[in-house]
Structure 1
Amino acid sequence: MTLQSEPVRPASRYYFPVLKLYQRAFPKEEKVPLVWLLANSRRAGIDFLGWHDGARFVGLTFTVTTKALTYLIFLATAETVRGQGVGSAILDRLAARFDGRLLVLALEPQDDAASNVRQRRSRLAFYQRNGFVLQPYQVVDLGVAYDTMARNGRFAPAQFDALMRGYTGWFYPWYGSKILRK
């Protein structure tokens, strides 16, 4: 696999595949406007990447990085490559790219009453196979509560709060992001 990434920009060759995957892969309540992702990805420490294997588009990631940690806000792989190790390879490339920093993500809580319970269990197992460990915190983002996981150690709520304040800027008080002990 010759997995590579490039920044997502309206003129990039993978812009439309990224757009389509982003629209399909995430529920409405979890998405932010694409223009927000594109605008913020021009700032230092924020990466919106399209991933490809040769000429074949395989996925997308959106990350925010500080000195202490990297928050993986979005990861999605193209339907045509799921189950082929591409998601794991992307996670390994991100870990290498961010040089051993704590890699943090949020995922839907395990809820047996959820309509997508199998999908939630599958995501949890995928991240656990890739070295992520559930953390004792939940993040509430835009009014939706998520469990948190980390790879390469544990994070402190103050680290996450500082990252979110830097990412959302003046919008932070209205963004509604907070971290809570479970």
Structure 2
Amino acid sequence: MVSFRPSKRISPEVIELYEAAFPEAERRPLPAQQRLLEEGALQLLEVVEGVHFVGFVFCWALTDFTFIEHFAIDPVKRGQGTGTRVITLLFERYGRLVLETELPHTTDARRRIRFYEALGFGAFPALYLQPPYRAGWEPLQLVLMQKGMSLEEHTFTKVSNEIYREVYGL
């Protein structure tokens, strides 16, 4: 059974998976990530099966949706329904979910997008740029996806503006 273990400290297991699952351009530097956790703005949910760590979710409780900033499952547990159970639990707990994913330019990116679509996520049709996590780096063009919300332009504008303001400090 999959469950969440909230944490205010980024454990070595989370660090290892975070660095393996996301390229540097898509990761907030760890000291900044830890500071946001301590301030209470960012939440870290370690994903456990029994007592065993199998993944993590970094997320933000925003006005009327939860933004999943980073989500990863241990590669050993992938393909076994763990990710599906995690997203299902998140949706049951928080309702409306929003996340970023890569453009469908690679096989892995297309697989991730199909995973989210199979779970009821839809992609906003508007251009979305993820602000850089490091000064001097370029923004990344990503796909903003949602579950439980409308795909209308005004919803995209409201959601993306709140993410830019609250998550990226713009």
- For normalisation by structure 1, the TM-score amounts to 0.80
The equivalent of 2:128 in structure 1 is 139
Distance 1:8 1:54 in 2: 20
The equivalent of 1:16 in structure 2 is 12
Cα deviations by residue, 1:131-173 (Å, 9 ceiling, x for unpaired): 101111232111111011110022331232123312344xx2x
Aligned pair 1:122/2:111, yes or no?
yes
Aligned pair 1:106/2:80, yes or no?
no
Which residue identity does 2:162 align to in structure 1?
A
Aligned-residue offset at 1:126: 0.5
The equivalent of 1:84 in structure 2 is 80
Distance 1:74 1:2 in 2: 18
Structure 1 stretches of 4+ moved >6 Å:
none
- What's the secondary structure of 1:68's corresponding residue? coil
Aligned-residue offset at 1:3: 2.2
Which residue identity does 1:106 align to in structure 2?
E
Distance 1:97 1:125 in 2: 23
Aligned pair 1:165/2:165, yes or no?
yes
8 A Cα contact 2:124 2:156, kept in partner: no
Which residue identity does 1:156 align to in structure 2?
F
Distance 2:41 2:92 in 1: 15
Aligned pair 1:6/2:2, yes or no?
no
Which residue identity does 1:165 align to in structure 2?
R
- For normalisation by structure 2, the TM-score amounts to 0.85
The equivalent of 2:21 in structure 1 is 25
The equivalent of 2:135 in structure 1 is none
Which residue identity does 2:9 align to in structure 1?
R
The equivalent of 1:95 in structure 2 is 91
Aligned-residue offset at 1:2: 4.0
* Matched-pair identity in %: 26
Aligned-residue offset at 1:8: 4.4
Aligned-residue offset at 1:44: 4.1
Cα deviations by residue, 1:37-84 (Å, 9 ceiling, x for unpaired): 121123445212211111211101111121222111100000110011
The equivalent of 1:55 in structure 2 is 51
The gaps in structure 1 that reach 5 residues or longer are 112-116, 173-182
The gaps in structure 2 that reach 5 residues or longer are 133-138
Distance 2:127 2:60 in 1: 18
